[in-house]
Each structure stands twice: as structure tokens, then as C-alpha cells.
Chains A and B, each alone.
Chain A
Amino acid sequence: MATRTSRRRLLRGLAAGLPALAAGGALAQVGVLKAHEKPKSNPLPGDPGEWRGQFFQQALAERANGSAVETPVKPSELPGTAAVGQDAPSAAPRAAAALSEKADLVRMQEELRRALQKPVDQRKWTMVIDLRKCIGCSACTVACKAENHLPPGVVYRPVIEEETGTYPNVTRRFLPRPCMQCDDPPCVSVCPVGATSKRPDGIVVVDYNACIGCRYCITACPYGARYFDFGENYTDGTPRKEPYEEAPSPEYGREWKRDRGKSPVGNVRKCQFCLHRLNAGMLPACVTTCVGAATYFGDKNDPDSFVNELITSGRAIRLKEEMGTDPKVYYLV
């Protein structure tokens, strides 16, 4: 119960604390924001950095005056943060969970660094998503939107929700769907100009400066993981673009400023496992943001890696294996 409350609080914090860019995505996610019904004014104005700061200030103040404390959120309970708090006895199970989550992230981080020491063609980036741990919060969706500066209609990692059964025996299942980074990717072979290709480390990338925008690859992807950048903005129909829309996307380690007629507008876009972060020694944004700590990442060519442990746990499946695409995203069921 306590864990759940703290998670909910954390969620609330996340939802409020993500940069303003996320707001567009989050609104669209709940169906509020359609292409033609944009809100008249941005509900979250200002500089994202400053905004995030305000959130933390406010949280600290609430904690200090006790106004927000039925079950206080200790920094120690946040996944991947500092050590156990003073009230260790009562919080022991929570702390243990938090510790293991922290350990998971730290371990993956270390493995990432280790993999980066190897030549690029000896790594095989792989993702594992634990469907029993995913709580369907869509924080990864939003984090990805923020990280890659994705415009409306471009969603690299939606979370598919599935509801089964009838009351009172009902259950919901959540399935995040990034690009599977197929080892035999049908999107690569169809591309008429070779703009889509598979890197030596297995990540399937789009060369924005080469893609002619024919959208053949969208039809060929069995997982619906490709999106066309129609050139739309969250602030269409309002007097000006917001700073988060002007800021360039860091994809592929370059600065892509969206502008009419300029790449990546008019291109097909897709999840690339946050390649720009990987190459900087960071885990993908969806992994570090995952509230349920359900997303794992690592090098499948490393026999001792966490992902290898999970893949061989007997719980791992892949989507549409019958297509022969050999996905590098595994799901634990």
C-alpha cells in the first residue's frame, strides 16, 4: 500500500514536473489535444528548466511545513536515488525495493559503459520490458517525447492498454511499444534510397538528410513503429511557437531544428533507443524514467549482462516472431 501511494505521488510529481514540452504530449495522450483543437494558451508557460526548479522548490516547501505529508516521499524511495532513510525498520521492504531498483539502474549503467569500450560492431543493444511491472503510466511515452522533441502525431513509444475479463474478474495489461530494432528489419530493405539502415550495433536509423519521405517503410513495419513528421506543432493556431518547439531535437547526435520543408519535417521518424544518449554513456530516456522500473536495457553480446539474464529467465517473448524480423525488444510475461 505504502509503496503504491509513494508511486502515485511520484507519478503526480512526474506528471507535473516534466518540462513544458511534455505537456503537449500528455494532453494529447488523454485525448484532449487534437490537431485542430489546440488550447488557446499554453497551460505551462515559461522556461522548462525554471519550471522544473519551481516544482522542486514547491515540493521541498510542502515537505518542510508538513502540509503534504500523509506518507512522506523520501528521496530514498525514489528509484535510483540515494540510500535508505532514518526510519529504516518500518520502511524496510520499500527500501529494499528501492535499493534493488537503484541497483538495477546502476548495474545497467555500468554495463552500458562496459559495452561502449568495445568496438561498435560487437555491441548488440537490446531492451527488455517486464509487463508485470509496467503500471501503464506512460511516463516513458512522455519522457521520449521530451527527449527527442517529438511533434504532434509522432510517438516513438506509445503504451498499448489491454483490458480483459468482465467485472469482477477484470484485468488490465500495458504494453509499451518502442521500435523493435529488428535484426532483420523489413523497413530497411524497402527504403528506395537506403535512408533507413541498420547500424553495426543493431539500431535501425533514419538518415534524415537522405529520406525522401515516400513512407514505404511505414507500410512495411509490422509493429507500426514509424511516423511521418507532417510539420505540425502543438501551438498551431496560436500566435507563436513555444520555446520547447523551437529547441532542436538531439537525435543522432545532431541538432535538428524543425522548420517547414526542412528535415526532419517531411521525413519518417522512429525510436532509435536514444542513440545520442547511448553514445554519451547514458541509458535511453524511457529506461531511466520508467516508474515501474519495468524497462531494462543492455548489450546482448555481453554474456553477463542484465538483459541476458532476463531473456533467459524463461519469461521472455517477442512480438510477431512469425514475421521473421528477429526483434531486439523482449517482453517478460
Chain B
Amino acid sequence: MRVAGARRQTMVPMVLALLWVVALAAGAVGVVQRLMTGHELSGYTSTIPWGLWVAAYVYLIGLSAGAFLLSTLIYVFGVRRLEPVGKLALFTALVCLLAALLAIWMDLGHMGRFYEVYTRGNPRSMMAWMVWLYTAYSVLLVAELWFALRGDLLARSAQPGFRGRLAASLLGRFGEAFAPSRGTAGDPDYDATADLRVVRVLGAVGVPLAIAFHGGVGALFGVVGARGFWNAPLYPLMFLVGALVSGGGLLTFIVAFFWPERDGERHRDVVSLLGRITLGLLALYALMVWAEYSITLYAAIPASSRPLYQVLGGPYPWVFWVFQVLLGTLVPAVILLARPRSVGWVGTAAFLVAASFLATRLNIVIPGLVEPQLPGLDRAYIDSRLTYQYFPSVMEWLVLIFVAAVATGLFYAGFRGLPLVVGRKEVSS
């Protein structure tokens, strides 16, 4: 959508900036509370030990894996039409990964001990594997992004001002670590094709890695035999498709609204292709949800079907019906079908898909925990930490808002400071 009128042009960013500052400040309050009082102000309990933050972590890490896998369409599978969004996809993946790690770090009982997963990790634990795999993935992501950006950084490093200096410093100190012999600032012998080859190799390695690590997140839930609701072999696949849907949605939204030249035919092409990819993935995910829900309900084994009834009609049915079904699936599907070439509509639909996916993640994490492990255990001992009901506390929401604000800030900083978009006009700020 083109922003009409000079006034609106300055008003909108102002309002957004103000909102961001408020969100960051409010979120910081939550973080301070969390750091000062530990888990005392949390809404999760001993009976529902994972809550909003775990769901947010799964959501954000899914966005990361999804955005990354879409970037491989370009760098590994050679889908030329999407080429302009390659770097943006990689950077989005990196920001989402960092946000996910921030969310899950807040969730730990002993934040200072996270390193133990490296020093004394248990190879029988899916959680340990997930951490190891996303560590490898994050290293690979940073390297790939750097190689993908190097040509543009080189071109930029000669320019005066902040961007030039940033480019030079990224190439210089940081760059030495990757490719000490070539391509330091101002190098005339820079060979772009060599870098692209490296990007392709890294992307190719990244495909199985991203599949393994996000499939691993699904497996982390799937292997828990004690929770009938989670214990589904379909989970790793569902998590992967879910990552692609949400990551695809996020990328489509970003490309639709943050592209510098939003009126060109090329832009419309890219957005509409991304929109169609998102729609296809959305349909596939809906099919998987249908398979899971229908079979579980038909088989009616209490351990797995009762949590499902909670999803459909428990204390918070709107999480499923309003967010997951209506806003997350039906409305965007209708929009994407009816207006496949309207940048504004496709972007809006994609935003709905990406944002409401948090509800889908909540509907995986929480219901798996709402059923008492033994009948009567919910009434055996009455304590506020032993109830089988959960709603996130204010502190939990604030911390999540903080994570979202940090991610948005990082994204915006990168978007302004790095040459992420091909042919981007140098807009003065």
C-alpha cells in the first residue's frame, strides 16, 4: 500500500517509534521483575511447568527455521525470482533466533547454568540435541549472512557516514575470521561469484541442519510418552511445516511492507509468489492439524483426546477458534485466494498468518500439560502451584513484550544499517 500524504508519512513512523519505546520500557519492567524475583511472579506451575515463554520460544525458533529454509530456495535451489529477498530472509532468521534464545533463557530456573548443556550435555536428551543443533545453525547462519552481504558491504565501506563505517568494521575485524586473505575493505580483487559459492555450500549444509533442529523441537515434544497429546510421530513434520508457514508469512509481510520500491512490478511479483507459497504451506499445515485432531478425537483415548477437548472448548477456546482458525487460517486463506496480486492484501494476510501462529504454538505446549497424570492428582493437594489451569501472568506478558521489542529493534537496526535489500535506495533517516 502506498502511504498517501506527507503528514501520514511522518505520523506513522512517529507513532510506531513511540509504541516501540513504550513496549521496550514496559517490557524492561517485566525483565527486571523476573531477574529480581526469579519465578515467583510467574503464572506457570509445577503441574503446567511450561507456559507462554516456551510457546514463544517454539514460535520464534520456528520463524527462524522457516525464514532460513525459504532463503535456501534462492541460494541452494536457485529460485531466481526470489533472489531479492535472500539476505533479508537470512537476517530475519538470525533476529528470530536471537529472540527465541532470549525468551527461553528467561524461562530457565538457573539462567547462569545454560552453558552446562555444552559442558555436560546428555546425548539421550532431545533438548540437549536441540541446543547443540541450533548452536551449529546459528554459527552457520552468521557465516552465510556475512558471505551473502560481503559484496554489498565492500561497495558500501567506501562511503562516508555510519553505514560506511559499519560496513567497513563488519568486513574488517569480523571478516578476517572468515576469509582473511580476500575481500577486506576496498579490495579491488573481490570475487563475488566465489562468495556466492560459499553461500550455496553453507545453505546446502544448513538445509539438513535446519530440518534436524526444528524437527528436533517437534521431537522434543513428541518423545514425551507421559503426555498422550504430544506423543505423536507426526510432530517433527508438523513443526517443520509450521515453521515454514509462519516463517513464510513473516517474510512475505516484511517484503510487502518494508521494501524500498513498493510500487514496481518486480516487487508485486515477488510478494505474490511469496503469498502463494504461504498459502500452499498454510493448506498443508491445516491438513496436518485435521489429521491430528480428527484421529485423536475419533480414537478417544483420554490421555490425548481430553486435552484436545480443552483446546476446542476448555477455558480458553478463543485461542483456537479466533486466533488459530479464524485469523490464522480462514481469513488469510480467503484474502490470499481473492487478492493474490495485491501487495497490501497479501502482506496483511501474511502478517495474520505469522502473528497468529503464536496461538498455534500455545495450543501445542499448554494442552499437553493440562491433564493430571493420575486421576485425582489435581485434588490431592490444594496449592496455587499445583493447579491444572494456566494463564500467563503480567510479568510473563511483559517479558514477552520485551523480547518482541528487542527483536523489532534489532530488525529495524539491521534493515537500516545493513545492505539487506538489493537495489535499496539509500534513504536518509
Contacts and interface: CB of A to CB of B under 8 A. Distances in A.
A236 B107 CA distance: 22
Query: Which label, helix, strand, loop or mixed, suits the secondary structure of the B interface?
Result: loop
Given A189-B125, A193-B128, A224 B120 contact: no
Contacts, number: 173
B127 A219 contact: no
Contacts of A210: 113, 116, 120
A222 B383 contact: no
A281 B128 CA distance: 37
Interface in A182-213: 186, 189-195, 210-213
Interface string A21-61: 00000001111011110000000000000000000000000
A306 interface: no
B37 interface: yes
Given A158-B377, A160-B377, A265-B38, A222 B49 contact: no
Contacts of A223: 373-374
Contacts of A219: 49-50, 224, 226-227, 230, 368-369
B46 A227 contact: yes
Interface residues of A, number: 59
B225 A212 contact: no
Nearest to A187: B226
Contact of A266 (B110, B373, B375): B110
Nearest to B39: A230
B381 interface: yes
B108 A212 contact: yes
A30 to B, nearest CB: 8
Interface string A169-193: 0000001010000000010011111
Identify the interface centre among B109, B128, B220: most chain A CB within 10 Å of its CB.
Answer: B109
A216 B127 contact: yes
Contacts of B47: 224
A97 to B, nearest CB: 28
Contacts of B107: 214
Given A192-B128, A193-B116, A222 B225 contact: yes
A211 B110 CA distance: 8
A86 B382 CA distance: 44
Contact of B40 (A155, A232, A268): A232
Identify the interface centre among B49, B131, B379, B380: most chain A CB within 10 Å of its CB.
Answer: B380
Contact of B113 (A159, A160, A212): A212
Interface in B371-428: 372-377, 379-386
Contacts of B114: 212
Given A223-B374, A224-B374, A266 B39 contact: yes
Interface string B116-142: 110011101111100100000000000
A330 to B, nearest CB: 16
A67 to B, nearest CB: 35
A34 B122 contact: no
B42 interface: yes
Interface residues of B, number: 50
Identify the interface centre among B110, B368, B377: most chain A CB within 10 Å of its CB.
Answer: B110
B49 A224 contact: no
A233 to B, nearest CB: 10
A323 B226 contact: yes
A213 B117 CA distance: 12
Nearest to B379: A161
A30 B384 CA distance: 13
Interface in B21-72: 37-40, 42, 45-47, 49-50
A286 to B, nearest CB: 14
Interface string B100-114: 000000011110011
Interface string A141-167: 100000000001111001111100000
Given A215-B50, A224-B373, 12 more contacts: A28-B383, A158-B381, A160-B374, A160-B376, A190-B124, A190-B126, A195-B116, A213-B110, A219-B50, A227-B46, A232-B385, A319-B374
20 contacts: A28-B382, A153-B386, A158-B381, A160-B375, A177-B374, A177-B377, A177-B380, A191-B125, A192-B128, A193-B113, A212-B116, A215-B50, A215-B109, A216-B220, A218-B46, A219-B226, A219-B369, A228-B39, A266-B110, A267-B109
